[in-house]
A and B are shown apart, each in its own frame.
Chain A
Amino acid sequence: MVSQRKIGEVVLKVDGISLSFGGVKAISGVSFDVREHEIRAIIGPNGAGKSSMLNVMNGVYHPQEGTVTFRGKVRRDMNTYDAAAHGIARTFQNIALFRGMSVLDNIMTGRNLKMKATFLEQAIWIGRARREEYESRRKVEEVIDFLEIQHIRRTPVGRLPYGLQKRVELARALVAEPSMLLLDEPMAGMNVEEKRDMCRFVLDVNEEYGTTIVLIEHDMGVVMDISDRVVVLDYGKKIGDGPPEEIRSNQAVIDAYLGVAH
């Protein structure tokens, strides 16, 4: 697919982020930026602090040091609500769906920020509440259509195979119409075909909606194929940053992956 995307300005910038859990350092002094409309990959061996990095970016974790600059606004740290409200959506490494709900309801929850009706209006089920409900449903259906999961609409998410759950989680993130999407290992544990589909979806999202995408992925092939720029973390430190071809030839990276002693 020929890309017409225009990579734009820096939208999100993390600066000297350090994060530790009860003394255990997860990230130390990492800085990098993300540009509008690009697909930015974060790679690194297990325990390199990749997921923690995403969690810092959308305010799940609060770093001890460093700042997050989002759309020009410098923050000591993000908080999840602001992140979501400013259009950062997110999927998790080990699926974070609402197991007690159907696929449709799960995805509908992704619309909650778009619904302004008070609980009273919703209780009486009139006017705005109702309208918003149906508008959201339509949007949700578009995404369901987009991700080709029509056949499982009414299924409780618990009953779905892993690959489809990942898709549903992506759907939930997409219906929020985010400007930035953080994907934590979207293709982990998928078979070749599922991976191919997921790649297609990620690219399509980036193309059709111009969504900026930051993703963590282990499959090097995938990363090199779809990402514009790659950050490499190892033991919580940044050891590489640049376009795929450059990363491929980066000695530090190669060492890290071959597990050469530091």
Chain B
Amino acid sequence: MSEAFTKAMARNIFYGGSLFFLLLFLALTFDTEGALPDRDNRQAITEKVAMGKRLWEVNNCIGCHTLLGEGAYFAPELGNAYKRLGGKAGIIGFIKSRPKDGIPGRRSMPQFNFTDEELDAIAEFLKYTSEINTANWPPNIQG
């Protein structure tokens, strides 16, 4: 910490460096936007999937589960639930069967009383999610 380094130069590096890496980040974002159609399974996004995503959101599923590894760590990963639970029927059956008052002493998913259409939408959303190219994550079916 001698006078060999000056505030003016430190300031230049802050502004210049930040701008530099921001531009680089934007360039990478631009490339990502171009590459996403091959990976994000967007052709599978139907009205039903969109409805499922909305239901996923307004019931705060992310408050217990992870989806592609992001969310809360209280309940299982659901990015691959479609595969783990054996397709849409497995998902729908599980959600429907949750007891209203929980399970004594154990964690339990609440009973949301979804309609059949809603259940189908959620299952469609999880099917779409399971087909996103996630670079082979999670490492195995247990999520």
Decide whether A and B assemble into one complex. Answer: no
